[in-house]
Structure 1
Amino acid sequence: MKRTLVFGDIHGGLKALIQLLEKVEVKENDKLIFLGDYVDGWSESAQVIDFLMHLTQKQECIFIRGNHDVWCHEWLKNGVVNDIWFLHGGKSTIESYQNINSVVKERHFDFFENMKDYFVDEYNNLFIHAGFSSMHGPEKEHYASNFSWDRTLWEMGLTMDRRIQKDSLSYPKRLLLYNEIYIGHTPTIHYNIEIPMQGCNVWNIDTGAGFYGKLTCLDIETKAFWQSDVVQTFYPGEKGRNK
């Protein structure tokens, strides 16, 4: 049976990703959807990109663009280091590319270039890194940066009164646009929760792999999920994105 498996933010944690894929026991016909932020954090950001590029040769994969991927893409394009990016994981990403030649960098640039801002499947499920603000959906979004930065969608779903039914005039129109919405970007560990969280029909799969949490994969049909070990344990002596 074909599964759709969605993965949270990786942040350079290649060892955790490899362990997680082994736990999931990915089958040849599974569809893998990655929610973005592949880089910035642990020391193997360039290696994560290499691994994912090879994964596409044997697996159906969809790669959503995260805010950290936008920063890295810009750096690969023009060599300019964004000061904010450098302080929020960019330094480790730059270091991971020290021994990567220009040919490989060009391939990585193409990989970043071809990432999707969002994806809607045949069951009207939306996959997006952060969110969107338009009540008409992301295709009508005026600010593309919201795809990788917006947190209002998640905060709305998380804090909404559960007594409000979908047929109520008070139910948020953004949430009615899709069957389910899958996001990353806002680590669940910020709420002292180590597993995926649900707010209305919004599922947050970022369980803090870039900080002191685990990397997570969720089956969107059964809602079964798998997690790596705490990513920090794979990189002793490193701080990840912890500040």
Structure 2
Amino acid sequence: MKRRLVIGDIHGGLKALTQVLERAKVTPEDTLIFLGDYVDGWSESAQTIEYLIELSGKQNCVFILGNHDLWCKLWLEKGATNPIWLAHGGQGTIDSYIKTGYITQESHRNFFSGLKNYYIDNNNRLFVHAGFTSMHGVEKEYNENDFYWDRTLWEAARILKHVKEEKQPELETRLGLYNEIYIGHTPTTNYGEIVPMNSINLWNIDTGAAFTGKLTVLNIDTKEYWQSDSLTELYPNEKGRN
């Protein structure tokens, strides 16, 4: 059976990625939708990108652009860095590119330049790294940075889940534009959870792989999910983004 699987933020954790894809028994028939933040965190950022490039040659993959990917893209294309990026995993990503020699590979620059701001499937399900703010949907979003940084959409869904009596139509309108929405960016570990979180029609698949959590693959049709081991177990001599 062909499946559609969504994958949370990887953050250079190649061991977690290969492990969870094996646990999900992924085949070339499956469509894989990645929510971004492939780099910055664990020591195998460049290797993760190389793996994803090879994987996309074997099966249908959709790659969303995350904020960490944007930083890495600017560095690979223009040599641009900033202190915030370097302090939040960027230096480790640079080190991995120098160590592996992938820094010279045009295929890596092509990978980053081909990342999507968002993806909407045939069932009006939206996949975006962080969120959006436009009340008219992602196609009318005036600030692209919201795709990579916004957390108001996630907070709106959490509010609506717990507010029973008082209607908040401005929040409902934004969420109601799509049948389902899938995001990463905001670790569920921030809320004491290491599994995907669902509020209204919004699913958060970032289960803290950058820190002490796990990497998650979720079947968007059945909501069955699989997880890697904790990244701290897979990389016991590293700190990730802690």
TM-score (norm 1): 0.95
Aligned residue number for residue 16 of structure 1: 16
What are the within-5 Å matches in structure 2 for residues 85-100 of structure 1? 85-99=85-99, 100=101
In the alignment, is residue 56 of structure 1 matched against residue 37 of structure 2?
no
User: In structure 1, the residue corresponding to 2:228 is in which secondary structure?
Assistant: strand
Q: Kindly state the Cα deviation for residue 66 of structure 1 after the two structures are TM-superposed.
A: 0.2
Q: CA deviation digits over 1:94-130, x for unaligned, max 9? A: 00011315541x2111100000000000000000000
Aligned residue number for residue 4 of structure 1: 4
Aligned residue number for residue 197 of structure 2: 197
Q: CA deviation digits over 1:2-24, x for unaligned, max 9? A: 11100000000000100001000
- 8 Å Cα contact 1:164-1:171 kept in structure 2: no
Aligned residue number for residue 133 of structure 1: 133
Aligned residue number for residue 149 of structure 1: 149
- 8 Å Cα contact 1:164-1:170 kept in structure 2: no
2-structure distance, mates of 1:4, 1:124: 14
In the alignment, is residue 229 of structure 1 matched against residue 232 of structure 2?
no
Q: Kindly state the Cα deviation for residue 232 of structure 1 after the two structures are TM-superposed.
A: 1.4
In the alignment, is residue 79 of structure 1 matched against residue 83 of structure 2?
no
Amino acid paired to 2:16 = A
1-structure distance, mates of 2:107, 2:232: 28
Q: 1:165 to 1:126 in 2, by over 3 A?
A: farther
- 8 Å Cα contact 2:156-2:171 kept in structure 1: no
- 8 Å Cα contact 2:216-2:228 kept in structure 1: yes
1-structure distance, mates of 2:197, 2:103: 40
2-structure distance, mates of 1:171, 1:38: 30
User: In structure 2, the residue corresponding to 1:75 is in which secondary structure?
Assistant: helix
Aligned residue number for residue 163 of structure 1: 164
Alignment length (residue pairs): 240
Q: 1:165 to 1:27 in 2, by over 3 A?
A: farther
User: In structure 2, the residue corresponding to 1:198 is in which secondary structure?
Assistant: strand
Amino acid paired to 2:153 = L
2-structure distance, mates of 1:129, 1:24: 22
Q: Kindly state the Cα deviation for residue 227 of structure 1 after the two structures are TM-superposed.
A: 0.2
Amino acid paired to 2:192 = N
Identity %: 57
Unaligned runs of 5+ in 2: none
Q: Kindly state the Cα deviation for residue 169 of structure 1 after the two structures are TM-superposed.
A: 4.8
1-structure distance, mates of 2:226, 2:151: 25
User: In structure 2, the residue corresponding to 1:237 is in which secondary structure?
Assistant: coil
Q: CA deviation digits over 1:47-72, x for unaligned, max 9? A: 00000000011110000000000000
Q: 1:223 to 1:107 in 2, by over 3 A?
A: same
Aligned residue number for residue 108 of structure 1: 108
Aligned residue number for residue 36 of structure 2: 36
- 8 Å Cα contact 2:102-2:108 kept in structure 1: no
Q: 1:122 to 1:164 in 2, by over 3 A?
A: farther
User: In structure 2, the residue corresponding to 1:32 is in which secondary structure?
Assistant: strand
Amino acid paired to 1:79 = G
2-structure distance, mates of 1:129, 1:170: 22
Of Structure 1 and Structure 2, which has the larger fraction of its residues in helix? 2
What are the within-5 Å matches in structure 2 for residues 178-193 of structure 1? 178-193=178-193
1-structure distance, mates of 2:211, 2:102: 29
Q: Kindly state the Cα deviation for residue 163 of structure 1 after the two structures are TM-superposed.
A: 3.1
1-structure distance, mates of 2:223, 2:102: 41
Q: Kindly state the Cα deviation for residue 164 of structure 1 after the two structures are TM-superposed.
A: 6.4
1-structure distance, mates of 2:15, 2:36: 17
